[in-house]
Amino acid sequence: MTAPTLKHLTSEGVVYAPGVWDGLTARLAEQAGFDALCASGFAISAALGLPDAELYTMSENLTAIRSITAASSLPVVADIDTGYGNAVNAARTATMFVKAGVQGMFMEDQVSPKSCPICVGDPVDLIPVPEAVGKIRAVRDNTPDDVLLIARTDATGDEALRRGRAYVEAGADMIMPVTKTFGTVEEWQRCHTEVGVPLMATLTASTWTEREFTPEVLDQIGVRLALLPTQLLMATTGAARTVLGRLAAGEPPAEVSADAMAHHEFVEMIGFPEVEAMQNEYLPAKGA
């Protein structure tokens, strides 16, 4: 039986997609029972030891995408930042990401290099609407119809609504306001009404959308794809920092390990039983 596509899943209700950045986190998210994954640009950048300011390249992002799609059978929505250039660059980026196996992608209307809007104090700079529309058209024209194209806007208020309508007309399947775009549920609902397509929301850790966008609210405001982009990253980073601090302070490694996942549990989770089964099936017996 063929697994449902991301486009099909989002047509039936709200889909939650946790932010992952490599094969291990993709595998964990699938085993946890999620239906889709978000290849979080914030997390991919952090995995390289960098802030989310488009310091990494398209090819570095693509490498992460390939590790995610290889490790999991779940549909992946990818963060392609600004498309890494003009409309022609964005079209090539989209083509490469589709070849890597993504079923959806979101592209923003910031000036390149972008900055994560919740990490900087001042409003971010946006490209003019005609330029943004051209990039969306280029991506849509070079992307299969069954791949979700999500246009992100970092504008606010009425300007965000104006951009959202223009992006839908250019071919976007969904509109993605960021957490700073609107400040109330009612504004999100108005956005959905005016753009006429489903919305994608980021329930970023420690933001108002994480607190207030319950499943009922998400359905009310027309969100069909709800990203959980930083929860896993923050939890993993916090746990790693605690463990390293304990070890660096001289705590016996055995005491630190006692609080972590057991070795045998990790071995099973990562797939060693499956590898051993294949070895027994296909490799010559020892001594043969």
The one-letter code for the residue type at 31 is: Q
| CB under 8 A, 24+ apart: contacts of 1-7 | 3/73, 3/75, 4/75, 5/75, 5/103, 5/146, 6/36, 6/75, 6/76, 6/77, 6/103, 6/104, 6/148, 6/225, 7/103, 7/104, 7/146, 7/147, 7/148, 7/173
- Cis peptide leading into 113, omega within 30 of 0? yes
**Residue 145 catalytic?**
no
Q: Residue 178 carries which DSSP code?
A: -
| Given the residues 22, 35, 52, 219, the one annotated as active site | 52
Q: What is the largest CA-CA distance in the chain?
A: 75
Q: How many residues does the chain have?
A: 288
Active-site residue list: 52
